[in-house]
Amino acid sequence: MRITEAAQRLGMSARMLRYRDALGLLPAVRDAPAPIAAGPGHRQFTDSDVAAVSLALDIERRYGITPAALAFGLRVLTEPGIRAEVAELGRRTGRIPSPPARALEFEKERALRLLGLPAGRHPARGAAGSRARGAAATPAGAAGRPGSPDR
């Protein structure tokens, strides 16, 4: 279908559809030759092209963003350099925790689960801490073997 028909089906102008195409929000033009009726240089829109634009419109409405913002989001997902810079900005503004902090939190929560403690609660220091250290000194799987401390 031609751009005017696709635009009518989507409830927008042909100019807005061209703008979305320029932003990269439409699927790339396929290598298949266009029908003679379309003429040279005229894009033919398929039902999947219209469905892709419809999905973009739904995302824009749901999250209150512009077509340009959605196009930039796609660039962030597909271009590693941009993704890294945006992630760094997120870390510097505190919206994304730095990777070591996330790894440390994961390990801390894992240790608390293994100790049977609820997340957010820390084991008491002192005698309980020394017992935990003593227990950790026993090699895994040593329990029950001849010569192990628990026999």
CA angle 86, 89, 93 (to 5 degrees): 140
Q: What is the band of 132 on the pLDDT scale with cuts at 50, 70, 90?
A: very low
- The answer on pLDDT for 57 being more than 80 is yes
pLDDT-wise least confident of 8-22, 58-72, 100-114: 100-114
Candidate ranges 15-29, 59-73, 94-108, 119-133; pick with highest mean pLDDT = 59-73
The closest of 17, 15, 6 to 47, measured between CA atoms, is 6
Q: In 3D, which of 87, 67, 89 has the Cα closest to residue 79?
A: 87
Mean pLDDT throughout 40-65? 91
Q: Rounded to whole angstroms, how far apart are CA atoms 43 and 28? A: 10
Does 97 score more than 90 pLDDT? no
pLDDT, the chain, mean = 79
Q: What is the mean pLDDT of residues 72-78?
A: 95
Q: What is the mean pLDDT of residues 37-52?
A: 80
Q: What's the DSSP call for residue 120?
A: T
CATH number of 3-78: 1.10.1660.10
Mean pLDDT calculated for residue range 131-147: 49
Question: Domain limits of the chain?
Answer: 3-78
